[in-house]
Structures are given as structure tokens and as C-alpha cells.
Structure 1
Amino acid sequence: MLIAGIACNSSDQGPGGTPVSDNGSNGPPVTPVSRPPSVPADAEEVEEDTLLGEIERSANQPPNGIGTRALLTAACQDDVMVLWTDAESIHASLPCDRFWNDETVRAFSSQEVAIRLTVDSKRFQIFVETLAGGQAEFTVGGIWVE
């Protein structure tokens, strides 16, 4: 009976009594970094979640890009990454050693992409997805779009 009680327990314990991780509201809120000098003055700070295109995927169907962009190229210099698309430029504070290498930049460049910018109390994040299925995610210190 004790085994059944543990297996059916609906507390914060997972299978076998292991703790379940809660990614909810634990931890201090994240504060964006100041605008780096290399970010253009007319680039707007992103203050809420933003979708720049979307890719719908269904079984046995080709992916469907909605409002996607062409990723022209990307670079990182002085701890600021920049994604240049045919619609906008996205600047973000990121240590350049956490950015793509040249081979990865070439692999993502000229691809049709959807970009999700996440801004909440826990993180600032950029998620890039290509129509072909490539994905990349960056946790950054702040995001600006021009």
C-alpha cells in the first residue's frame, strides 16, 4: 500500500519520488543591460515577446512559412550580435564567444527564418528557426530592433 501511495502521490514529487523542477517564478528578475554603443540610436528596445514570422509544421506536409524573413547574414563584434534580415536588423547583447562560428553563420545565411524574441522576468532570448528545420537559441542581455 505504501508503494501505491508513493506512485500516486500528486505532490511536487516526480516518478520514484524525485523532485520535479519548476521553471516558474523562482529566482530574481532579469534586468536588461544598457544599450551598447554599437547599437544604432534608432533601434527600439524590445520590451515584450515578439514574433518575426512563424513556421507551421504538419506531418507529411512541407513547412509553411508565414511572414518569415530572409536571414541575410549575422555577426558578433564587441559583445553585440546582429542578425540582418530583409525586414529588420536585430541587435542583442551577447558575449561573442557564445555566438555562431563562421561555418554556422554560412549555414543560416540566406535561409528563410522565423525569429522569436522572448522578454520576460527570467530571460531575454532570441530563437531562430529556418524553414529547412535548423534552430538556434541565444540567451542575451537585451534586444533592440531597427
Structure 2
Amino acid sequence: MKLSTVLLGPAFVAACALTACSNDGGSTVDYGPTPAITDTTSMPSSEGAVAAGTNEIVISGFAYTVPATVAPGTQVTVRNNDTAEHTVTADTGGAFDVEIEGGETATLTVPSTPGTYPFHCTYHPNMHGDLTVG
């Protein structure tokens, strides 16, 4: 293969790419400011601040974020944003116990009896939360 072909081929591809991405002098669109994004999945606390009506427990940074209250007997999604495996295990009575691999989700059915259910991660004793069923 000729040296000029080897060198001109990539140059031609680069020129085409730059031409396709260049400004043709046409109108521009102003999309305005980018809206702020609030990340509630990385909160360091063990409880709180998931929007009302959300049936989801989020695990992030080795901490739980739980909804304020959950209706009796409903299903709750547990989302593990960490890379480590975690559990959501009721402290007493065996009310619920679910294992969630890192980066995965699982579902648990909350107890049908209203009350506050403390829970923990069996793998990480410093992880605790409270699930309020009402």
C-alpha cells in the first residue's frame, strides 16, 4: 500500500467528520439554563427524603434512604446503588428480609400491620433504618 494512501485515508475521514460537525451559519437554538438536578440517592443519613408516594428504599454510600411512610401490605422496591451486596432485614419478628446484589434491585412486601419496623444490613452492622407502615 502506498504511503500517501495510508496517510490520506485517515485525513479524509477526519475532514468529513469536522465538516459534518461544523457550524453552517444557520440559526442557533438557545436551550436556556440547565435545570438543577437533586440527587437524593446519595444522602449520608440512614432515613428520610424520598419523595412522598415513592415505594422505594435506596441504598447508596452504605446508607439507606426510605420513604416517609408505606401503606400496609404494599410492595417496595429496594435499589442498591452500591457495588457491595446488602440486605434489608427486619430487626425482630422476621417481618422482612431481602438480599440485594450490588447495582441490582429487589422487591419486598411490607407487613400488613401498621407500625415502625427497624431494620439493618446483616453484612454491614453500621447500616440501620426504620420503615414506617401506616
Shorter-chain TM-score category? Answer: under 0.3
User: Under a length normalisation based on structure 2, what TM-score does the superposition of the two structures give?
Assistant: 0.22
User: Under a length normalisation based on structure 1, what TM-score does the superposition of the two structures give?
Assistant: 0.20
- Higher relative contact order (CA closer than 8 Å, sequence separation 6+): 1
Higher Cα radius of gyration: 2
